[in-house]
Amino acid sequence: CIWVQCGVDPIFDFEISGASLHLDGKLVIEFYDFEYYLFDVQQDTLIPTTSLICEDCGYIWKVGNMAYDTVNNRFVVVFQEGRIQMYYLDWATSPTPVVSKEIVIARGIKRNWQSVYTTEFDPLGRYLAIVRGKKLEILEIKEKTARKKIEKNVNNVTDLMFDQTGNLLFIASEDKI
């Protein structure tokens, strides 16, 4: 069992927004509004990460949620403005993973903030389901691109989970599945 206490970042005084756990229990991502940290549980090591500040666009995107794809050793950061950045992890060069490349798979719209309630990869790494605002989107994820497969209006979604095949998505709301 891994427990990550939510609190305040001592350096930047940001509230911790949440944490995600790698499915095999090796990696935890703790994320804030404007940054994240990778923590390798097995090595008890904080892993250097890429800044979420978009230096080429003069704008700081606000983190909404994150999800892992353990099959392809990558994770996504879904920002409140709809931007999605995918990061590949390289586990081969050292005992702790290193971010080897970063790809923007959805551009987002500056200052178009909406809560990102939940984000989930299917077990095979083919699809990414996101609930942002009152929309459920299912994206087909390739190595460098994403293609929208489904978009539906939803209310009060609290969690998502794919079945083992990735062909069935369970959607939980406050009072039903």
Q: What is the pLDDT of residues 6-30, one digit of tens each?
A: 444 444 444 555 555 554 566 676 6
**Which pLDDT does position 54 carry in this prediction?**
58
User: 57 with 116: CB under 8 angstroms?
Assistant: no
Q: Which of residues 124 and 99 earns the better pLDDT score?
A: 124
Asked if pLDDT for residue 71 goes beyond 50, the answer is yes
**Which pLDDT does position 9 carry in this prediction?**
44
CB hemisphere CA count around 159 (13 angstroms): 7
User: 39 with 45: CB under 8 angstroms?
Assistant: yes
Q: Which of residues 2 and 85 earns the better pLDDT score?
A: 85
